[in-house]
Structure 1
Amino acid sequence: MNTMLAYFNGKIIPLEEVKISPFDRGFQFGDGVYEVIRYYPPKLFQIDFYIERLKGSLEKMEIKVGSLEFLKPAIMELLTRNNLLDVPSIAYLQITRGVQYPRRHDYADELTPTILIYTSELPVKNEILTKGIKVGLEDDLRWLRCDIKSISLAANAAAKQHAKEKGFEETIFIRNGLITEGAHSNVCFVKDGKVVTPPLSNLILPGVTRRTVLLLCKELGIEVEEREIQSAELNRFDEVFMTATTAGVVPVIEIDGKVIGSGKPDKITRMLQEAYNKLVAG
């Protein structure tokens, strides 16, 4: 197997040579942000939207990086040198505030951010896209800045693990009786041909795939309503689907043991999947 390469603090080096200081604030505090960017041959899919969101996360966290012009060429070089140009893949990008010794909660202004990018193959998940998934429900116990794509993901990881243990593919969070989002996805509902989804706020990540799907709804003439959704409403919807960078538009056929609609991916979800796939292929 060929040695995989990574971008680390301005250099392309073997992945196994990447060394993170034990005093990096990302390691000690989860003080950093990240992005996962999809590559569908021959292009990085909607990378400008991801960079825009990354800039927003960095600003909200007050992590000073400077120009991000290096990102696109660095990712493409990694895909090329890691022999991934011909296969669906992802680029994982993480930026922490940097190294600070000794450990303390407040941070110095002059810290140099730690930047890591690596790439890996990630095939399209055709089975879940075709058959749909079963998801669970869980109280949303995360912090109040879920709009930041922070590397502090302990609650998300726990929710994903709980879902796995129960035989679910994903978890939908509920906070104070309201639906927020998935553990690593946004969620949309369909009623009488209308797509309904929670509005963006500090409790919801501004998903790039969510954004794309809502734009596709406009192009297809599908009505969209962004509003608060009560957990008690879940059994009233005709269709449910999740949106995520790694998977696209994923039908939900069951929530916490209750079948959604016909129990199969339905009309609006299929229309949006088809439109999304055309956009990916284009």
Structure 2
Amino acid sequence: MSTSSYADGAAYVRGRFVPIAEATIPVTDWGFTRSDVVYDVVHVVKNGFFRLDDHLDRFEHSMQQRRIRPPEDRAAIEAILHRCVALSGLSDAYVAMVASRGRPRVAGSRRPADCDNHLIAYALPWIDVIPKDVQERGAHIWLASTPRVPDASVDPTVKNYQWSDLTSGLLEAHDEGFDTAVLFDAQGFLTEGPGFNVFIVKDGKVSTPDRGSLHGITRKSVLELCAELGIEAAVEPIPGTDIEHADEVFLATTAGGVMPASRIGGRILGNDRPGPISLKLKQAYWARHDEGWHRTPVRPLEAAE
């Protein structure tokens, strides 16, 4: 099959590389019926993965925590990701690795250990959680009434497809004409949003929640950049009222980088545009990409064979 067949994306499913439109799983897969699956996403910019080792580390941690063990080892998974990108021909891509529980070998079994775990991977054209034009004017963020699922029930450091609470927050936001939402836990502390970590800026200090949140790779990058730029930063409890009184708010994710906000609920931040510290971190983040920060070049197709 020619590489042109992969122009919309390339996938690895059940041991085969296929165009993204042909990537399917059985409807009886527990990854589908029970959201019994873990995943991770790494981005490719200008033919280079960003922090690939960090994403693979987190993916391995998630699989270990959920006792999902596909047959492919780490080296094989990395090679598969390279080949998916190479097949797609994309220089900027959204690249996912997924480990699903699979289907029971024993008909009717309810035992997770009876399932054949398997790996799915795919590369798609670049995706922004917040579209670039919205990032320019600053995202409008709704403060969701839906509480974040408790950490004791679903470990937020294990990247998973349990999105019911996050999707409910999105539905609220869109009903109110906002771009996206952030959620709070049952005690009223800030957590995260659908697919991103959240940061607040107050009196020059950058803070991000210590609970209810994925240990994001972009979050990690932001904290490193703050240290480099001499900006005070902390991972700490953030009461819900703090975001309402913040000087600036920005979001961080693999699918979009550092994404400033300009409105929080009914409050307009600054001059209804992204704030100076948010913009400084956004510019530094992408400038470091251009410098090759944590870059792993995508192996050409012949090398990924």
TM-score for the superposition, normalised by structure 2 = 0.84
Residues 238-276 of structure 1 deviation map (CA, whole Å, 9 limit, x = unaligned):
111010111111111111121123322121111101110
Cα pair distance change 1:142/1:2, threshold 3 Å? farther
Q: Is the CA contact (8 Å cut-off) linking 1:91 and 1:117 kept in structure 2?
A: yes
Asked if the contact 1:237/1:261 (under 8 Å) is kept, the reply is no
Q: Does structure 1 retain, via aligned residues, the 8 Å contact 2:243–2:249?
A: no
Equivalent residues in 2 for 1:245-260 (5 A)? 245-260=254-269
User: Aligned runs of 1:12-31 on 2, under 5 Å?
Assistant: 12-31=17-36
Which residue of structure 1 aligns with residue 89 of structure 2? 83
**How far has the Cα of 1:224 moved from its partner?**
0.9
Matched, 1:229 2:271: no
> In angstroms, what is the RMSD of aligned CA positions?
2.0
2: CA distance, partners of 1:46 / 1:2: 28
Q: What is the distance in 2 between the residues matched to 1:154 and 1:169?
A: 18
Q: Structure 2: which 5+ runs fail to align?
A: 292-305
Deviation at 1:106, TM superposition (A): 2.9
Native 8 Å contact 2:203 2:247 kept in 1: yes
User: Using the alignment, how far apart are the partners of 2:132 and 2:251 within structure 1?
Assistant: 15
Matching of residue 55 in structure 1 with residue 60 in structure 2: yes
Question: Aligned letter for 2:213?
Answer: I
Q: 1:235 to 1:143 in 2, by over 3 A?
A: closer
SS, match of residue 160 in structure 1? helix
Q: 1:163-194 CA deviation, whole Å, 9 max, x = no partner?
A: 22322121110112111111211111111111
SS of 1:275's equivalent?
A: helix
Change in CA separation of 1:191 and 1:67 when aligned onto 2, cut-off 3 Å: same
Cα-to-partner distance string for 1:60-84 (whole Å, 9 max, x where unaligned): 1111236221223222222222221
Matches of 2:28 and 2:111, distance apart in 1 = 14
Q: In the alignment, what sits opposite 2:101?
A: 97
Structure 1 residue ranges, 4+ long, deviating more than 6 angstroms after superposition = none
Whether 1:140 and 2:147 are equivalent positions in the alignment is yes
Determine if the alignment matches structure 1 residue 73 to structure 2 residue 79.
yes
Larger deviation, residues 142-151 vs 250-259: 142-151
AA matched with 2:5: T
- The 1:17/1:266 distance shift into structure 2, 3 A limit, reads closer
What letter matches 1:120 in structure 2?
Answer: L
Aligned to 1:172: 182
Partner of 2:286: 277
1:114: Cα distance to partner? Answer: 2.0
Alpha-carbon deviation of 1:143? 4.7
Tell me the matched-pair count: 277
Offset of residue 46 of structure 1: 1.0
What does the per-residue CA deviation read over 1:18-65, in whole Å, with 9 as the maximum and x for residues that have no partner?
A: 341232111221101111211101201111111111111111111123
2:74 partner SS: coil
Q: TM-score, normalization: structure 1?
A: 0.91
